[in-house]
Structure 1
Amino acid sequence: MNFKFIQYDSQDRIAFITLNRTQKKNALNAGMMEELREAFGKAANDEQVKVVILKASGEVFSAGADLEYLLELQQNSYAENLADSQRLKDLFLQIRSCPKIVIAQVQGHAIAGGCGLVTACDLVYSDPQACYGYTECRIGFVPALVAGFLLQKTGEGKARELLLSGELITAEQAKACGLVNYICGEGKLEDEAGALARKLASETSGASIAYTKELLAALSGLSLPQGLELAAELNAKARMGEDFKKGIRAFLSKEKPQW
């Protein structure tokens, strides 16, 4: 699979999806979004992949939408802009619903759509000098597609503050509000994110992760009884799988399961 705007590699059961438009500060355009969808689809369907790391080449994670791309959008009809918005929505949802653990590895700026990519990931490792922001309101855009994901991570109060102000926040501020999970030591971003990915790849059941992510994605839209019913159904499905049998055999034998 040949990509123009991203890179895709896999090793040690980890897929690495790398934004690779350094001359454009890894800004998003239609081509990059389509390639990201292809790459996440490839990782999701690869039985040898347990964890996905989304990262970027260069000094900036992503500056948001490409300026040429924004100029093109001004010429679009409503139907064309709706179709384009749907494609970005599908990408965010694909990242969030990926059956594998998705880790964002962020250096430099992650702004607007770039910050949206980060928000859709399960876990976020950040360089201490990185900054984050949803700056759409400053250029007449609406940060609509990321709002639901941000609400789940930060709660309504902080989401309102970030989306309505368009202010950039530091890595420490992003961690304090729940957007970032880990801030790495200076120069240790790749090592620390990679270490977690390898640990998760070797110590967690792929089937369990997929079922857990399915449950978490559904819970916010369900009542408590509905959520518990879904949990019971997924629990029953997991008990019928090979991962459950392997895990129980290892537990009873006082051994570590080989995932």
Structure 2
Amino acid sequence: MNQIEYTVKDRIGYITLNRPEKRNALSFELVAALKEAFTKAEDDTAVKIIILRANGEAFCAGADLGYLQQLQKFSYEENLADSNHLKELFLKIYTLKKVVIAQVQGHALAGGCGLASVCDFIFAVPEAKFGYTEVKIGFIPAIVMVFLLRKIGEAKAKQLLLSGDLITAEDAYRIGLINYIVDKEKIENEVLEFSYRLIHTNSSNSMELTKQMIASIQSLHLDDALTFASTMNAKARTSEDCIKGIQAFLNKEKIQW
């Protein structure tokens, strides 16, 4: 059975975790399959929006237990290579040229919570629990920490990362970890409607450049950030999408993206 399902329909690329019997736990092979799937979706001209979802009751339960046992036998160099493997996946999703929406139909824990966290939008069912439980087994939430501090700030990140406690979807929404809470029987349609809205009302180039700037600008000095912003602004004005969009606006025409 394939650990990942990849399908395309109506300009949406669906990447589906497919280890329901293992609660979609992350293994080396699954991380590799995800990296390959996201690269494929990014390069696929038929795809404008990507939905990351999962089969089974859990979205992703974190690291596979059998895999964790293997890691204890690894050398430092082997563990570093494996850590970089996960880092590359998270960075790929965070900096991907296309918008990524996580459709979380069940619990997202530890590395699985990290996987959802690096997506651009998170829709979750009310029953879903979220948490970075690494400290409870003597591990650390090292890689996701870099992204989580950016996303929700130091105080809220400390609360989650140092306690290792699970939180409800409602609490995750309240602190800005997730974007929407939708009943289980409605979440697929809600994610689809949101995706179609982005597809039909937003420029691909504009969303790509905006994502790029969000990822880059936070680490720059204020003057450098503003210089970078001015440069990107000037470049965007000469883009094909901007010319098309302004012309349609001036002519009071509906833009077809």
Query: Which category of TM-score, normalised to the shorter sequence, fits these structures?
Result: over 0.9
Structure 1 stretches of 4+ with a deviation exceeding 4 A read none
Give how far 1:4 is off: 2.1
- 1:79 corresponds in structure 2 to 77
Name the count of aligned residue pairs.
257
Give how far 1:47 is off: 2.3
- 2:178 corresponds in structure 1 to 180
Structure 2 Cα separation of the partners of residues 224 and 235 of structure 1: 16
Whether the aligned pair in 1 keeps the contact of 2:5 and 2:18 (CA below 8 Å) is: yes
> How do 1:138-177 residues align onto structure 2 when only pairs under 5 Å count?
138-177=136-175
Unmatched runs of 5 consecutive residues or more in structure 2: none
Which of 90, 107, 110 aligns to 2:108? It is: 110
Whether the aligned pair in 1 keeps the contact of 2:105 and 2:184 (CA below 8 Å) is: no
Whether the aligned pair in 1 keeps the contact of 2:8 and 2:47 (CA below 8 Å) is: yes
1:222 aligns with 2:220: yes
Unmatched runs of 5 consecutive residues or more in structure 1: none
Identity level (%): 53
Q: How much is the aligned-residue C-alpha RMSD, in angstroms?
A: 1.0
Structure 1 Cα separation of the partners of residues 55 and 86 of structure 2: 21
1:99 aligns with 2:93: no
Give the secondary-structure state (helix, strand or coil) at the position aligned to 1:115: helix
TM-score (norm 2): 0.98
- More divergent stretch after superposition (130-139 vs 229-238): 229-238
Structure 1 Cα separation of the partners of residues 4 and 184 of structure 2: 25
Which of 191, 194, 197 aligns to 2:192? It is: 194
> How do 1:17-96 residues align onto structure 2 when only pairs under 5 Å count?
17-96=15-94
Whether the aligned pair in 1 keeps the contact of 2:124 and 2:180 (CA below 8 Å) is: yes
CA distances 1:190-239 after superposition (whole Å, capped 9, x unpaired): 11011101110111000001110110001110111111111111112212
Give the secondary-structure state (helix, strand or coil) at the position aligned to 1:94: helix
Give how far 1:186 is off: 4.3
- More divergent stretch after superposition (43-52 vs 172-181): 43-52
Letter in 2 for 1:244: C
